[in-house]
Amino acid sequence: MKCNITDLSNYANAILRGNYDASIHSVYNKTINLIFGKKLLAIQVSRSPLSPISLITNITENELFSMHIDHSDQVNILSDGLKINSHFFVFKKAQIHDLELKTVLTTLELNNLKKQITTMISASENLGGFEAISNNSPLVEVTPILKVAKSHMNACLNLLNKQCYDDAAKEIVKLIGLGIGLTPSGDDFLCGLLAGMHLLKRTAASIAFEAAVQKKVYQSLKKTNDISAAFLEATLNNNYSYAVKMLTTNVSYQDIYQAFCSIGHSSGIDTLCGIQFVLDSFVK
Cα 18 to the center of its chain, rounded Å: 22
The dihedral built from the CA positions of residue 189, 199, 248 and 59, taken in this order, carries a sign that is negative
The dihedral built from the CA positions of residue 169, 172, 178 and 179, taken in this order, carries a sign that is negative
Question: Minimal CA–CA distance to 44: which of 60, 28, 55, 29?
Answer: 55
The reported pLDDT for the residue numbered 36 is: 97
The reported pLDDT for the residue numbered 73 is: 96
Contact 9, 96 (CB under 8 A): yes
**Digit-coded pLDDT (tens) for 104-156:** 999 999 999 999 999 999 898 767 789 988 876 655 567 899 999 999 999 99
Sequence-distant (≥ 6) Cβ neighbours of residue 122 within 8 angstroms: 135
The reported pLDDT for the residue numbered 101 is: 96
**Digit-coded pLDDT (tens) for 249-267:** 999 999 999 999 999 989 9
The reported pLDDT for the residue numbered 177 is: 97
Contacts by 19-26 with C-beta closer than 8 Å and gap 24+?
20/77, 22/75, 22/76, 22/77, 22/82, 23/74, 23/75, 24/69, 24/70, 24/71, 24/72, 24/73, 24/75, 24/84, 25/71, 25/226, 25/227, 26/71, 26/227
**Digit-coded pLDDT (tens) for 153-167:** 999 999 999 999 999
The reported pLDDT for the residue numbered 108 is: 95
Position 93 confidence tier, pLDDT thresholds 50, 70, 90: very high
Share of the chain above pLDDT 70, in %: 97
The reported pLDDT for the residue numbered 126 is: 63
Mean pLDDT, to the nearest integer, of 63-92? 95
Give dist(CA 202, CA 219) in Å, integer.
24
**Digit-coded pLDDT (tens) for 20-45:** 999 999 999 999 999 999 999 999 99
The reported pLDDT for the residue numbered 141 is: 67
Contact 217, 176 (CB under 8 A): yes
Residue type, 237: N
